[in-house]
Amino acid sequence: MGRKKREWLPGYYYHIVCRGNQRDDLFKTEIDYRTFFYLLKEVKQKTPFDLAAYCLMSNHFHLQMRSDSQTISKVMSLINKRYADYYNTKNNLTGHVFEKRYFDRLINTDLAMLRVSRYIHLNPLKAGLVETPESYRWSSYRLYLHTSGHSMLNVNAVLDCMDGNALEKRQKYQEFVNEEKEIKEMPMDGGEIVFF
């Protein structure tokens, strides 16, 4: 029996999660993290997508992304295939690098955009890796607070869900993230609770 075809609505963001096979580490060294970002840029140049937030943990990663021209499945296939080739070659391995098909969830409201981004940015804090989300190197959170533009990231996709000028939006977003540091589950739209 074939797998269910993935839903894709052009222009909508999705929350994407990929885990290492048997929850093994995907990123073992700084070079692994940097290589993943390099491969993201390569794929983006050939198969454009829009990235609103990201967080790379040792054994999984989160992306908040959309694609207008290609399905998310196509984009993720290219990203995961390239990273798997790199990972297996570097570690002299064969076989699966990722646990299974990636998780994806359509994001269809401004509130969901904010909540998903916050969940992604709080991942390292919830895992006990850092004391503040901005101190984690492999997350987009610092870019939300301190830069106006980044070639890989469209922070305005999330910040524009807030009222105010650019500085006010950044401040409101930081308050929004800080007020939920204690949650352990992520309420998605529709009232459903999704655990990661």
pTM of the model: 0.87
DSSP label at 98? B
Question: Residues 133, 122: contact at Cβ < 8 Å?
Answer: yes
Strand-pairing partners, residue 193, are: 187
Query: Is 187's pLDDT higher than 90?
Result: no
| Residue 179 CA, distance from chain mean position | 21
Q: What is the pLDDT of residues 111-130, one digit of tens each?
A: 999 999 999 999 999 999 99
Q: Read off the pLDDT of each residue in 62-71 and give the average, rounded to a whole number.
A: 94
Question: Residues 105, 194: contact at Cβ < 8 Å?
Answer: yes
CA proximity to 160, closest of 105, 108, 122, 114: 114
CA proximity to 17, closest of 131, 108, 90, 107: 107
